Structure 1
């Protein structure tokens, strides 16, 4: 309290505090604690980031099946549309190609997007979440 002095300005009484708080023993203790916290946060930041998984962790048969479903689904849809345009009277025969092609494209696109997200993931934890969604035994 000795570093406070009172003075009057007009009719109000104000207290001015000198900025000598750094010299007090309690503030030195607090400064050392903040320095310890800064060093801890710096050491956490200086740690190397976790190594990301390689693409080799995904079995080749999963990648091949994904590409196969996507490409074969597109081929079925294209052939179904071409046959339907050539002979619109027999649409019942070609509608099955469109349905099967559409059903093959859906999982092909989904798992292809997951594989692309896996490649572009920025952390190992994100890659692990994606791996949990893939049909890997």
Structure 2
């Protein structure tokens, strides 16, 4: 591309000229963005499991913390409940975040990358 300077008042502007060998004709398809996936591209089973993991994990954490504060002398009985709650909450929140990120992504490439990160078997 060649740049020709133009002066308008005190500001220099540049005009871009196409010096490539093609005619300058470009198809509309090359500029048209690909359509985004709909949210139903993610299987309902993945969404249901993600919601279940998040809700049950938070419920186990709340029950474990309440029982721990109610009877602190028997803390070793409630540690497994807290541990399971943490193990369920971490992937539940992570995949919920990925699904929300998929819904709000602006390009198809971002959506394809998010789909590849989800545990989907086709």
TM-score by length of 2: 0.76
Runs of 4+ aligned residues of structure 1 deviating over 6 Å after TM superposition are none
Query: When the two structures are aligned, how many residues end up with a matched partner?
Result: 104
| Offset at residue 33 of structure 1 (A) | 3.2
Q: Does 1:33 align with 2:19?
A: yes
Higher alpha-carbon Rg: 1
Residues 115 and 38 from structure 1, CA distance in 2 versus in 1: closer, same or farther, beyond 3 angstroms?
Answer: same
| Offset at residue 46 of structure 1 (A) | 7.6
What is the distance in 1 between the residues matched to 2:99 and 2:42? 9
Q: Which runs of 5+ in 2 are unaligned?
A: 1-16
What is the distance in 1 between the residues matched to 2:18 and 2:50? 57
Over aligned residue pairs, what C-alpha RMSD do you find? 2.2
Q: Does 1:95 align with 2:79?
A: yes
| Offset at residue 47 of structure 1 (A) | 2.9
Bigger relative contact order, structure 1 or 2, given CA contacts below 8 A and separation 6+?
2
For residues 50-106 of structure 1, give each alpha carbon's deviation from its aligned partner in whole angstroms, at most 9, with x where no partner exists.
100011111101000000001100000000000011101100101111100000001
Residues 32 and 123 from structure 1, CA distance in 2 versus in 1: closer, same or farther, beyond 3 angstroms?
Answer: closer
Residue from 100, 104, 107 that aligns with 2:88: 104
Q: Does 1:62 align with 2:46?
A: yes
Q: Which has the higher helix share?
A: 1
| Offset at residue 49 of structure 1 (A) | 1.1
Contact 2:18 2:24 in 1 (8 A): no
Residues 92 and 37 from structure 1, CA distance in 2 versus in 1: closer, same or farther, beyond 3 angstroms?
Answer: farther
